[in-house]
Structure 1
Amino acid sequence: MQIPASDLGLQVQVSHGENILVLGTGEFVWEPFLLAERLEAAGAQVVFSSTTRSPISTGYAIQSAIAFSDNYGLGIPNYVYNVAHQQFDRILICCETPASSVDPRLLEALSAVAPTVEVITYE
């Protein structure tokens, strides 16, 4: 039996061909990336991205932007780029803070992109 490199999201099950966005938060990207690899190996179609503090204007390569507050409670603006114009079956937001720390505005915006939005934590 192979031991997973990360125990984040071990409970997550996927369907073959399911279109999933795995979204890391800020610098918490390595463990979410490993989760994305694991889900892809299980048969899902996976896109990986992360939130950022960096403001970027839309245009050219940046087709869409979502703005929201950080999940650390500092009130720092954060962004997700090139997600709002796409469609997914499911979005997994991975964070190292409690699920309740994710800005409801982000959850609402992502709900327009996927029928299922889940927050994956170590809680």
Structure 2
Amino acid sequence: MKESYIREATRTTPYACVNFQAGKIELQGRSSPENTMEFYEPFIRAITMIGKLNKEKIEADFKLMYFNTSSARCIYLIVKQLKRLEDSGKNVVINWYAEEDDEDMLETGMDFQDIVDINFNIIMTKSTDEYV
């Protein structure tokens, strides 16, 4: 078994990482892939696997600057999977990053939190430089 699942960022896809040993999940950058499910399906499978392997805390960082509608659906599926892990007894921490002047990203995070009924740490940043 690999230690991590990693997809490097491109112009249209975010950096996506699941570190199985550390219990860490990260999605960072811009998301507007041509085939959204093709990009996100392996990432969601990796999140399912981390739940089977890691008995401790699972921490997910969403550091997105932009995502299109089809990506929003996949991000919703990711948050739902994290809720399933939490419901199964895992300690799940979700950190949702938004720039101070990006009300849309802030509201989207709050909407996901409410719809899925899972707590988010909303972290406001001054600029995207802080995401790196």
TM-score, length basis structure 1:
0.37
Q: Which has the higher helix share?
A: 2
Higher relative contact order (CA 8 A, sep 6+): 1
TM-score, length basis structure 2:
0.35
